[in-house]
Structure 1
């Protein structure tokens, strides 16, 4: 059976989703993930205050492209009225859905009453969600965590009450806010939410899926409707095609060659420059090189060169040198 969000978004039998990640999930990164088979993606989270003030950085994050569909715009904020307005503004950008972030644990979000902070005030979370649902004609989904800390794991209540005010899917990161990204994600509570007979919407699991084996095992063990992958896709968008291939055939797909790594890195870089301009595009790409070439021996020297070069031509020259320096057929696990 296909997983559906609302009436019009059909994600197939067991979708793989790209988690929204600040400073990562921009259009250039989304492009290379889409090329490798991801089923649904989201923008970086966008501040409701920034959208209302018409801040350039927030507005730029609304950029979406036809080839990315289905895609959701993710918003966050602490004021109910402002979140409703943000949902109206975001809807005008033409996404397939609006997603609300109730999971971000970082201090400058959670300590200002947004993101995971709402897990401390479920009544406000419900009222905010209702306002967003009423502010758009698009399906609304939510991403959240198990709870604020070990003493307040309230995701069961969250799932039921948010479904009651109209959300169409729920993604759950298997950690509390207090855990941040430390320790192991606990998917048992995600499974319990999915098995709750009152919960009819799709439930997606998130947290620690970084291999084909884990994806396959957790699909069976935790009975979720799909898996959301975040950090494991950074510098390795091939994870989506590898998991899909395993689901379809039971066989492991060979990892990317050096040539594939270089080609995708070049594509990411080119798209980054196209979207952000030369200076910013080159600068912001610097965080990705180490991940694209993880496992290559003695890569530090190349990375130091890549992060210091100011022009596209010079960077492409080094990338070609990397390709020729190492066996083009060398595959990294």
Structure 2
């Protein structure tokens, strides 16, 4: 599958999730089978561009191309300026956020709130494309099925966005009203796929290789985007890729492999965030890795009391080494991220 000048290695994408899909997480997911990853959302508000949070989100050092950055906002001109700002800092693809259901985003009429104003949504796409097209940067769009059950307008917005020059559309199979409750539905995604010629990506509740195959068949989508199921389980991409290619399931990864992946993740995480923030923001990732594993809850409680990176890293190594003494391969655990992360997925 192509996106602009980029030939993507496979149709398995990492969803943009605020507070989760930072550079270290994206790099690891790509190494473990993801063909494409989108950054955490970057605000279109100029006064926040110099903040530490935004500067970290705009840091793409060592990241494998293509570098895709999601932007969020409500004003076409500001969104166009945000696109230019991120391109100057290494973005090679710009994704527009029209899917975030978080109240703090929707209360400002950004994210999925934009789906209530189709004309404004299309003007934003037009403005961003106008800035990106001369630079050879594709623009993509991520949205939901609609604002509420009674007003599912994903097909209408998709058609308008395609006419405005968008290169790819991702649809999460829930309305904003649903948040992350209930089950994702895929009929609307199939309808969007039938209505446009640009590639369409299916998102929502893709938690296993079997579910991935079903969603592809049901929607006819060109690719899949996976969010919460990759939290603490970044190897899900290689599992899905193997199943789609062979029809067989991979064995669970070796426990010591998982230890090494997490250690690699933590080193990269500490390098980005520093000692104080690094040890604290790493806790959620470590918690997702051990969720449902033998002794995982007790270890998580112990680990959350550590405030030193080296102590945290050593505790992780000890936990997985002990686990490996009894389990050569990682024991089965519940799929997906921890419940407290449910409001973090950007769309």
Gaps of 5+ in 1: none
Task: Return the TM-score normalized by structure 2.
Answer: 0.91
Give 1:269 deviation, angstroms.
1.1
- Alignment pair present for 1:159 and 2:155: no
Trace 1:1-333 onto structure 2 (pairs within 5 A).
3-6=1-4, 8-12=5-9, 15-50=11-46, 53-136=49-132, 137=135, 138-196=137-195, 199-326=196-323, 327-333=326-332
Deviating 4+ runs (over 6 angstroms):
none
Give 1:250 deviation, angstroms.
1.5
Work out whether residues 21 and 45 of structure 1, in 8 Å CA contact, stay in contact via their aligned partners in 2: yes
Task: Give the distance between the partners of 2:121 and 2:321, measured in 1 at CA.
Answer: 54
Give 1:52 deviation, angstroms.
6.4
Task: Give the distance between the partners of 2:329 and 2:90, measured in 1 at CA.
Answer: 42
Summarize deviations over 1:155-211 as a string: whole Å, max 9, x none: 111111100010000000000000011111111110111122xx1100000000000
Give 1:330 deviation, angstroms.
3.5
Task: Return the TM-score normalized by structure 1.
Answer: 0.94
Task: Give the distance between the partners of 1:108 and 1:313, measured in 2 at CA.
Answer: 35
Counterpart of 2:337 in structure 1 is: none
Give 1:50 deviation, angstroms.
4.5
Give 1:46 deviation, angstroms.
0.7
RMSD: 1.5
Gaps of 5+ in 2: 333-347
Q: Greater relative contact order: 1 or 2 (C-alpha under 8 angstroms, separation 6 or more)?
A: 2
Give 1:257 deviation, angstroms.
2.5
* Paired residues, number: 327
2:95 counterpart SS class: strand
Give 1:142 deviation, angstroms.
0.4
Higher mean C-alpha deviation, range 109-118 or range 254-263: 254-263
